[in-house]
Chain A
Amino acid sequence: METKYSVIGKPTGNVDGMAKTTGEGKYTFDMYLPNMLYGKHVRSPYPHAKIISIDASEALKLPGVKAVITGKDVPGGKWGLWRRFRELCDQIALADDKVRFIGEPVAAVAATTKDIAAKAVELVKVEYEILPGVFDPLEAIKDDAPLIHEDFENNINATRHIEWGNVDEGFKQADYVREDKFTLFPQAVVSMEVHNSLASYDKGTGKLTIWSSTQSPYYLQLGLADALKMREGDIRVIKPHVGGGYGGKNSTMPDATTAALLSMKTGRPVKVVFNREEEFTTTEHRMGLHLAIKIGLKKDGTILARECKIITDGGAYTGLGATALYLAGIFQTFPYKIPNWRYDAFRTYTNKVWATSVRGFGAVPTVYAAEVQLDRAAKEMGIDPLAIRRKNLMEPGYEAPGQYKVESCGIVPCVDKMAERIKEKWPKLEKDEGIGYAGFAYMSGGIFNWIDTPYAYSGARVQVNIDGSVDLFTQAADIGQGHNTVAVMICAEELGIGIEDIRLHPGDTATAPVDLGAWGSRETLMNGNAIKMAAGQVKQKLVDLARAKLGENIAYDLVCREKRIYLELRPERGYSYYEMVEAAIKLNDGEPLIGTGHYTPHNKGMISPAYGMGIMAMKAKVDRETGLVEAKDVLIVHDCGQVINPLGARGQVEGSVHMGLGYALTEEMPNDNGLVLNPSINDYKIIRQRDMPQIELLDVPTYDPSGPFGAKEAAEATISPTAPALANAVFDACGAEFDSNCLKPERVLKAIREAEKNQKNKAKAKK
């Protein structure tokens, strides 16, 4: 197909490829500074306890120990990401009065070696008074439950009520109504690079530099400013390559605050690296929750009303859990038209490590319930599961009153393409095989501003030098999703040059304009727009100059393409890019060409400027003897607007399905009174190479007016449908129903027996 673009839309290898395949690219984990100390935390063995005293005298006597700090040494106050609502900024650097989960840090040591730091931690004596704890959200809201944060009655951390239409009337008019209950388990993040930070404080200037494995240098700068009682501008955050984030590296965590505090105390660089057990037991995860859902439909399958109530297991602090609560409701309605909808959600504090944003942020558990319920309804009503979805799909311009508007919307052609392809792809199923469907959609960056940033949501600066080379500055965070490649592709396309002409300077708060970071699938659209605007300013200068030199009719359009600036209709009339750059800089009194760009969504509703969407089909096989479920094959039809880099987009989809399959089949975090029972990669089961199915990905391109070159998100949408598509495939294969995710063999066997019993009873009743 002829395309009007020369860079975007073409499969492009990762610009960090050389760095990441040769070992030369440095992660924070790989950084060591001369004279550096190692920091390590003293952690609480109790889920809920008062701190009576901390005695560090023995630890301080150990040779090599340079400092021990406790909550008393923390100059700042509490912090959090919900800065618009200060009461939800509840995180603390080191617990001062009491601990709220097992593993909460109460003190930290700095020592010359890792081994000495570990020994010193053992020597810090902490006296606790144990308090009763609470571990389930339904227990936490009881009147006699212990309070985890004094100011939060019944341990309710946040609530959400969203409603449109007339839900009660919708149910009254429905021909078919059903209610279901689910319990969804939490999911660990498990970034391969653990949380770690290296801090270096300059006592002379009072300025801090910190290298950290973060998804958002700006959020870390804000969190540290609160924790350390410093000006944001006196803190420089540098994000080297990051070994994965998936939502778990948005919050400022104790690796960063402690490294900074110990560096300020000792005047030496300090590095804090969590070990894998600390990752599992003391860093954030996807929320677990109890859920009740009710749907009402017309005989023909049209959805008339839906109501959903959830109560989530929030853990000890807020993180981005309050946002997840909102998105859990909103994305449960996609990609369907639900005329009457009501959502009530409660997030409770419990004595566990807390829940936050994790890939598919909010959407994953509630979409599971909605998509699984839809199949149960379809089966009872005798409607084909794909047909019931087709009946209710959103269309371009669809609006949910007071919440969101969907501009580009390719979901109808996606489902039609799916229906066609599936006949060729899976014409016949084997015994005990089934096909499950699930629709999906996700935001291209969030509009909500709980962080309360006064800056634009994304910024970029382009500098074009005399030789035509470009320096591109932005705080946008590539944490593996491939945004560095997308960023230079967008810049190159706009300027009509190649990606090899651009040097990207990402993720440094001291040199680049603010970007809110990598969450909510926001970088392509939001940072892409900022980069396009910055490059566009320089392009305008070059075009104006070329136009003046050509002396052509002002109405004739010029384009920058393939390193030339020329008349669109008479390509032979023009100049080389390099010639124009040199001339423009000389005309500019020798100043390099600078373009600045920013992006903040306006008039786009409450949620997002644009939505990626589509439909997934999963083929699965059930072993009725062992209960083992095998995900055999996946088909996805996807609308992510104009694809910028097809390789990267495919990578994101594959990765989402992988993490979604873990949620579907193997990943859970059993917890005994606050203790995570499987805190290692041996015991926490991530899907492995042999268990990963092949994925066929078909695109339905659309153009979204909000996106750079029409692009939308491709990063997270496809995680949400994975688990329900799998559960629906098992339902299709053998009728087994599940009220949770994580279809381990014992759960599957139980559900099969239950289904067989129900079928027998039904047969009996018929007789």
Chain B
Amino acid sequence: MKQELKFKVNGEERELWIDPKTLLVEVLREELGLTGTHWSCDTGACCCCTVNVDGMAVKSCSMLAMQAYGREVTTIEGLADGPTLHPLQQAFIDNWAFQCGFCTSGQIMAANALLNENPSPTREQIQLQLDGHICRCTGYNMIQEAIQDAAKRLQKSKV
């Protein structure tokens, strides 16, 4: 039997009726059309599907959508401020921090949660936070450089 889910997604209140066993990633992609959140491993092992729930990095394949009831979900589509890219997004482009781009949404959303908590992380702290994020293209170094670059840009913009 379907149940009602009320939550906030990228700043908008959403109400929908879903099968309670539906995963958050399925609701985001298939009900709300937010396909920027990808899904790759089926076993919670790759972190491709990472979104922010109340500011925390969460694997949306490992959370039932109903667990997001009353909470605030941010996906990659909600990160930019209108037409202006978030510093993380711009830094990912400028530092060539993605290639195929399939895991990129997850990397950026994890980095976003990290920078919210720790505005100038060391290389080791980035590696620790993003260690579960599998990328088959980049070898990670350029991702870590982009996150440090974004941290600097964010701090500058706050001064």
Contacts and interface: CB of A to CB of B under 8 A. Distances in A.
Interface of A: 13-14, 16-27, 29-30, 32, 190-194, 241-246, 275-277, 479-482, 647-648, 650-651, 654-655, 657-659, 680-682, 686, 688-690, 692, 694-695
A534 B143 CA distance: 35
A681 B45 contact: yes
B93 A658 contact: no
Size bin of chain B's contact surface: 35 or more
Interface of B: 29-30, 34-43, 45-46, 48, 75-77, 79-80, 85, 89, 92-96, 98-105, 108, 126-128, 130-144
A652 to B, nearest CB: 8
B140 A658 contact: yes
Given A13-B93, A14-B93, A655-B99, A243 B140 contact: no
A681 B102 contact: no
Contacts of A681: 40-41, 43, 45-46, 134
6 contacts: A27-B102, A192-B135, A193-B38, A244-B99, A655-B139, A689-B140
A14 B130 contact: no
Contacts of A32: 30
Given A688-B132, A689-B130, A23 B37 contact: yes
B43 A192 contact: no
A195 to B, nearest CB: 12
B98 A20 contact: yes
Which of A192, A648, A681, A688 is the most central at the interface, judged by chain B CB atoms within 10 Å of its CB? A192
A680 B41 contact: yes
A282 to B, nearest CB: 14
B77 A23 contact: yes
A753 B133 CA distance: 35
A651 B137 contact: yes
Nearest to A679: B43
A276 B133 CA distance: 16
Contacts of B29: 30
A481 B36 CA distance: 20
A275 B40 CA distance: 8
Contacts of A655: 99, 136-139
Contacts of A654: 138-139, 141-142
Contact of A651 (B77, B96, B131): B96
B36 A191 contact: no
A680 B45 contact: yes
A480 B108 contact: no
A624 B130 CA distance: 29
A191 B85 CA distance: 27
B100 A22 contact: no
Nearest to A649: B96
Nearest to B41: A681
Which 5 pairs of residues, A with B, have the shortest CB-CB distance?
A: A23-B36, A480-B100, A243-B102, A20-B101, A17-B93
Contact of A692 (B79, B102, B136, B141): B141
B141 A694 contact: yes
B101 A692 contact: no
B154 to A, nearest CB: 16
Contact of B89 (A21, A650, A692): A21
A17 B92 CA distance: 8
Nearest to B104: A20
Contacts of A21: 76, 85, 89, 92-93, 98, 101, 104, 108
B43 A680 contact: yes
A694 B145 CA distance: 11
Nearest to B21: A115
Nearest to A11: B96
A517 B62 CA distance: 36
A368 to B, nearest CB: 19
A285 to B, nearest CB: 13
A650 B46 CA distance: 24
Contact of A480 (B77, B85, B101, B140): B101
Nearest to B143: A689
B57 to A, nearest CB: 14
B64 to A, nearest CB: 16
B128 A651 contact: no
A519 B106 CA distance: 27
B142 A23 contact: no
Nearest to B94: A13
Contacts of B42: 275-277, 680
Contacts of B46: 192, 681
A30 B137 CA distance: 20
Nearest to A190: B136
Given A22-B80, A22-B85, A682-B45, A191 B136 contact: yes
Contact of B36 (A22, A482, A694, A695): A22
Given A23-B75, A245-B100, 14 more contacts: A14-B96, A22-B77, A23-B37, A27-B102, A30-B29, A192-B40, A192-B100, A192-B103, A193-B40, A682-B41, A689-B143, A689-B144, A690-B127, A692-B139
B96 A648 contact: yes
Contacts of B85: 18, 21-22
Contact of B134 (A17, A23, A30, A686): A686
A689 B127 contact: yes
Contacts of A194: 40
A29 B43 contact: no
Contacts of B134: 192, 681, 686, 688
Nearest to B39: A29
Contacts of B131: 688-690
A193 B135 CA distance: 11
Contacts of B38: 27, 29-30, 192-193, 243
A689 B102 CA distance: 17
B140 A23 contact: no
Contacts of A30: 29, 35-36, 38
Contacts of A277: 42
Contacts of B127: 689-690
Which of B34, B39, B101, B140 is the most central at the interface, judged by chain A CB atoms within 10 Å of its CB? B101
B102 A193 contact: yes
A657 B139 contact: yes
